[in-house]
Amino acid sequence: MQERLQKLIAGRGLASRRQAEQWIASGRVLVNGAPARLGDTADPARDTITVDGAPLAAAPAPVYVMLHKPRGYVTTLRDERGRKTVQDLLHDCPVRVHPVGRLDQYSEGLLLLTNDGALTQRLTHPSHQVDKTYLVWVTGFSPGALEALVRPIVLDGRKIAKPAVRCLWQRDGAAQLEITIHEGRNRQIRRMCQAAQLHANRLKRIREGALALGDLPVGAWRYLTAEEAAKLKKV
């Protein structure tokens, strides 16, 4: 069956579709010995597809991994600036997986990784919304802070969906909040806190859709259960 090359490459877990498009544009992808172009399609059952001279492997079995990302790690597989990456925590994972979405360098908690390119594309598409719940430690807390956090604000030119916010404890201007958002704008919660005159000192994602971080140790990873993977695909 004919499919776009970037979709085929992403489906093999080699790269995201955007990265695959860059590979195609730079001449790293050949189809039947000829350089591919953006927009080309191919049938892996009939065509010979190579990336950097290596044949495109058969589609691997899908693997789904949950990682408890520590603070200080960037959500990428390699970093040109030499910073610690989540790949450093997956050295004992036998399958190459890629992050689904991101947690910024100084945030921690639940991060999903997979080699399922089609699922990654669907879960990270702007039209896809799934609830994400965070614990947020803030300073500058006041009685009006919760109201300010749920007040409609515009980020990146668009109004964000109203978050769910509750205070777990507060003392002397410090507080721990539980915030659930329905979309994934860049540094969304930190920017929400800033707009509410709060300083977010620590941010930990504890739930994404039906997936819960639970007691997974910091820096550790595990495979999703069959039940978790099934729920993920229904999102």
Q: Look at the block and give the residue holding tokens 């594309």.
A: 121
Residue of 115, 146, 147, 83 lying closest to 13 (CA atoms): 115
Cβ contacts of 108 within 8 Å, gap of 6 or more: 68, 69, 70, 71, 202, 203, 204, 205, 218
Q: How far apart are CA 109 and CA 168, in angstroms?
A: 18
Adjacent-strand bridge partners of 55: 50
Beta bridge partners of 110: 68
> Which residue in 149, 70, 139, 81 sits closest to 103, CA to CA?
70
**What residues are annotated to the active site?**
104
d(CA 29, CA 36): 6
**125-147 exposure pattern, b = at least 16 Cβ within 10 A, e = fewer:** eeeeebbbbbbbebeebeeebbe
